[in-house]
Amino acid sequence: MPTLSLINFNIVCATLGGFISLFGLVSYLFKERLYLSEALISLLAGVIFSPHAANFIRPEEYALGSEQNLGEITMYFTRLVLGVQLVLAGVQLPKRYLQLEWKSLSLLLGPGMAAMWMCSSLVIWAMVPDFPFLHALIVAACITPTDPVLSNSIVKGKFADKHVPRPLQRIIVAESGANDGLGYPFLYFGLYLLKYVEMGGDAYSGGAGKAIGLWFYETWAYTVLLSVVYGITVGWISRELLHWAEEHHYVDRESFLVFAIALSLFIVGTCGLIGTDDLLACFVAGNVFTQDDWFRLETMDDSLQPTIDMLLNLAVFMWFGAVCPWSSFLNNSVIPIYRLIFLGILILLVRRMPIVFAMHKYIQQIEHLYQAGFVGFFGPIGVGAVFYLSVCREFLQGVTANGTVREDAQKLSEAVDVIVWFLVICSIVVHGLSIPLAKAGYYLPRTISQALSTSAAQEQDPIPIGNISFTHSTATRNSETSHHRGRKRGAGTTTSRDPPQQTVFQIGRPVVPTASPRDQIGVGGADEPARPVNLVTHDNEAGNAA
């Protein structure tokens, strides 16, 4: 007897596949007409399918009821998405971009990230009651990097092609790709100090000297510098191997197109094995891989990479909507909800914008003040912040005293979970709605004004027949004949490039066309200059003559 098999695998496949299919049917409408980001739509879908609503996606059951397992699943999922995204971000940059634009990137990745870290730390320290500044430094380090996944929503698509200059798009992509891997030094600076200075017991020794030493040779030397060297090596070897295989016709088109994605998976796995920074290695490898611009130009018109990118984005933000601790925003022992909302507003305004305005004259891609405001505002907090949140909480579980997690570490773990998740949700919602709201704010007053003007004109009293005056526009006729592009310009014809004509007919007076003389309706041969046609209609004079 057939029975329903309501297991999690079947439900997840049906839910994810059904959502992606339905979204695909209206994706152009949402993304290119309404300018809504797929991240925001996927987040809302995740909330709808989560245990808070339909209960189709059940993260706690997948993690066997363990909060630690759930955190590991989230961390590995974000690692996978970021690894693929960062390789693709490095690949889409033009030839030798990092070498040519190193001055602008140095400002954004050096003073820019440091200022973002300190500004965020000060705001968090001021808004969270009884919160040590060292703890604020750790929380702020999670949200310092800008997210490459959400950044793609403002540097790709019709809006970006129309309003964002190409150099500005590229510097945003390069910064979001590089600074995502440079979040480790900011995070581990506070974590090592917490572990070895604020001990609360005698489980560790060494104090600040050991913390700074570990920060230099473990974080900077091993995690950061080794990942750069490894990324350069893997990217160069991969490029040469692919060149050799293509020259000898050993690789087919499908394998050629998927090579960059496979490279990202390899780097994520191998960097995880040796314990180095896989995010930075992926971005560096992607840029070195397309150093000669060959692979980028070969795959420019291909849609495989954007398709994989879209599938991963939809899946990860649905997961965020399902695993986000929504109830903890209201019920926590760290910060009340009204302070949390005010904190989100301040972070979006203060975290990035002041330093970008201060440095915009030295960044050649930012040519105007409004572009500085755009770059300063669109520094989204997303997948990278959730990844560093998972790394932070995993580290804090190892800060123990007498066999148990220290009290300060436990309190910080709860604080970083609540604050970072709330700021991620704020960034997804605010940055996802900014463009459509800006568009509505620009067009809505004009639409209302035109509607009021039309309504007022229609309500006017009719003019007596003896003084009738009306306007006839030939714009409609021009649009109707615009498809005749092959028609030769001659007598009595207009084209779609001609400005709309406006011919004023007044009974009892000669007609005066308002178009330019070359567009006046004329009669004559091909070599004869056009003579204006007198379209006079005589009513009173003609009647008197009769």
* Distance, CA of 492 to CA of 427 (rounded, Å): 57
**Interval 68-97: pLDDT, tens:** 999 999 999 999 999 999 999 999 899 889
Type of residue at 240: E
**Interval 118-151: pLDDT, tens:** 999 999 999 999 999 999 999 999 999 999 888 8
Is the confidence at residue 508, as pLDDT, over 80?
no
* Distance, CA of 257 to CA of 254 (rounded, Å): 5
Among 11-20, 27-36, 105-114, the range scoring the smallest mean pLDDT is 27-36
pLDDT-derived band at 459, boundaries 50, 70, 90: low
Judge residue 330's burial from the number of C-beta atoms within 10 Å of its C-beta, 0-12 exposed, 13-18 middle, 19 or more buried: exposed
Query: What is the pLDDT, as a whole number, of residue 458?
Result: 64
Q: How confident is the prediction for the chain on average, in pLDDT? A: 83
The topology (CATH level 3) of 8-445 is Na+/H+ antiporter like fold (1.20.1530)
Type of residue at 146: T
**3-state SS assignment for residue 55:** coil
The fraction of the chain above a pLDDT of 90, given in percent, is: 63
The stretch 25-38 carries a mean pLDDT of 89
Query: What is the pLDDT, as a whole number, of residue 159?
Result: 78
The stretch 170-195 carries a mean pLDDT of 93
Query: What is the pLDDT, as a whole number, of residue 157?
Result: 74
Element (H, E) at 18: helix 8-25
Dihedral angle sign, alpha carbons of residues 185, 188, 190, 193: negative
DSSP 170-208: HHHHHHHHHHHHTHHHHHHHHHHHHHHTS-SSSS---HH
Helices 304-323 and 67-91 meet at what angle, rounded to 10?
A: 150
Q: What is the model's pTM? A: 0.81
Query: Which tokens sit at 424?
Result: 């991620």
Is the confidence at residue 443, as pLDDT, over 80?
no
For the ranges 164-178, 231-245, 398-412, 526-540, the maximum mean pLDDT occurs at 231-245
Residue written as token pair 């950044």: 151
The stretch 435-458 carries a mean pLDDT of 71
Is the confidence at residue 464, as pLDDT, over 90?
no
Domain boundaries, the chain: 8-445, 468-482+497-519+530-546
The stretch 509-531 carries a mean pLDDT of 42
Query: What is the pLDDT, as a whole number, of residue 501?
Result: 42
**Interval 387-438: pLDDT, tens:** 999 999 999 999 988 889 999 999 999 999 999 999 999 999 999 898 888 7
The stretch 299-320 carries a mean pLDDT of 90
Judge residue 98's burial from the number of C-beta atoms within 10 Å of its C-beta, 0-12 exposed, 13-18 middle, 19 or more buried: middle
Query: What is the pLDDT, as a whole number, of residue 163?
Result: 83
Which of 189, 169, 178, 191 lies closest to 102, judged by CA? Answer: 178
Helices 207-214 and 183-196 meet at what angle, rounded to 10?
A: 160
Dihedral angle sign, alpha carbons of residues 386, 389, 394, 397: negative
Query: Which tokens sit at 230?
Result: 């490894």
- What CA–CA distances, in Å, run from 281 to 38, 230, 259? 27, 6, 16
**3-state SS assignment for residue 485:** coil
**Interval 216-240: pLDDT, tens:** 999 999 999 999 999 999 999 999 9
